[in-house]
Structure formats: C-alpha cells, structure tokens
Amino acid sequence: MLVSLVQQNRLANMNRMKKCAAIFLSLILLPAVSVAWGPEGHRIIGDIARGRLTATARLHVKELLGDDDLAVVAVWADDIKGDRPETYGWHFVDIPKDASGFSEARDCYRPDEKHAYSLEDHHNCVVDRITIFKQVLADTGTSRQNRIEALKFLVHFVGDVHQPMHAIGEARGGNAIHVIEFGSPECGKYPCNLHLAWDVGLIGHTGLSERQYVSRLDHLIASRRLATAANAAPADWANQSFQLAKKVWVNDGGAVDESYFKNDIAIVDQRLALAGLRLAALINHVLGNQGDLVHGANK
C-alpha cells in the first residue's frame, strides 16, 4: 500500500526530530561543545575534498582506507569519543568572546581536575591536533594504523575548525544559548540551541540531499573562485570561524528563523566549501609526493 504524502511528511518530521534529539543529548552529556556540523555536513566536506585529490594522493588514501573514502570516515572521530574521552577537547577551540583571536598558550591547555587527561594535554584543541596529525600522516616510519587514524582525525577536525561555534568559548560554544528554531523552541524532546542550529538546523532547512548539497558547493567554488582562499594555516581557520561566530551570534531566547537563514546560509556554504578545499590541499600536500607505501614497514 502506498504511503500518503501526509504520512511521508510526518515520517520525515519524526526522523528530523529524532536526529536533533540524539545530537542534542550527546551535547548536554558533555561539559562543552561536542559535535561540529552533523554527519551530513562532515560527509559533504569529505565529498568536496575527495573530488579534488591528486591522482597520487588518491592512491595513498586508498592504501590507507581501503574501500572507505573520505566521506565514509568523516564522522569516525565523533563515533569514538565515548571509548576515547581524551579526544573530546580535540574537536574545538574555546577562544574567549572578548579576545582578539586564537592564542595557543591560552586556548590549548585547559586543565580540568574532572578530566585527568586534560592535566597533561598541552595540545587539547583542534588547531594543535590538526598540526599533530598532519605530522603523523606524513611520517612513513610510524605504524600504518597510526597513519590511518591520523587521516581519519584530519578529515573530521578540518571540518570541525570551520564550524563557527567550534571556535568560541562563550556559552559552551552556543550550546547554552537556547533559540527558537524556525518557530519551534524544541528540537525533538530538547530545547533548540545555537550550536545545534549550526550543526544541523541550517543545513537541514535547505531541504537538499547530501549529493545535491555537494553539487551546490561545487557551483559555489567554481563561481566564487574559493580555491584562491584555500591556503592559510589551522590557526587562521580558527580565527576566521571565531570572527564569524561573533557575527552570527544571538542572545539566549533569540530566533534562528527565515531571516537568520537568509542572512547566514551563505556563511554555512562557504565554510563547508572551504573546509573541503583545505582538506584536499592538506592531503595533497602530505600524500601527493610520497612514494609507494611499503606495507611491511608500516604495519
């Protein structure tokens, strides 16, 4: 029996509510920002990057990931956080809202007696972790498993640092800013918040599939020549996200509505596109000039 259009809409709404609820639950169980973009956003970034790898880099990615690709592994770093809590702080950087920008000494060492791992981790931020895992990926003398993990972390963290709410410490990166999202104060069973809106709400409101979104960004890259902005360093990427976070910030109880969407969806698109371009450039730089992997030396 064919499902009616009304039933289809109800199912779609229920699925969206369940997705928002699951993501929000993961956010409130942790003391700061925990997810950047949603799975869709990360996979879109992986797809943008995959299509811009050099032939040599593509071969080395295949050597490391096998049948998986950049989009498939893009959410791995979120999936393992429960088993590897020491990786939690690696997904973001808490730049104070009144600061002029990123400070490695201030923003990457955040000791917390409740989290023993943080007492020793002087690189407990996404900026430092991108630099560290880039070095691991480039080191053909380290184990193959270490390089595989480094690549997976990089695919995710380059996406994370481009999400504006992952570069600002205020109100737990917007998690504590409750908003009315497109007329509703609740996303599933939980209050909507600004961080969640940037993770999934704005992307979801476009109504596009992941494939359609990649096509949208491909056109954006071609028309705006965003490749010219694909260089710079992780600290610069974080500073760009930080400035954008302040620009799109709303106070507690504010609205993420059609006007907000119209004004800021272009920022979402640009950050996703730049993340994909910069991820591709990073992988091409590290893997594009390497010789053949020798499995025996890298196991």
Q: Residue 189: exposed, middle, or buried by beta-carbon count in 10 A (0-12, 13-18, 19+)?
A: exposed
Name every residue whose Cβ is closer than 8 Å to that of residue 206 and which is 6 or more positions away in sequence: 213, 216, 265
Q: Given the DSSP bridges, would you call strands 186-187 and 190-191 parallel, antiparallel or unpaired?
A: antiparallel
pLDDT tens, residue by residue, 105-163: 999 999 988 889 999 999 999 999 999 999 999 999 999 999 999 999 999 999 999 99
Which of these ranges, 32-36, 114-118, 217-221, 226-230, has the smallest mean pLDDT?
A: 32-36
Domains of the chain are: 5-298 (1.10.575.10)
Which of these ranges, 56-60, 240-244, 262-266, 294-298, has the smallest mean pLDDT?
A: 294-298
Would you state the pLDDT for residue 291?
59
Alpha-carbon distances of 200 from 36, 40, 176, 220, rounded to whole Å: 9, 8, 16, 20
* Mean pLDDT estimate for the chain: 88
* Helix, strand, or coil (residue 101): coil
pTM score, two decimals? 0.86
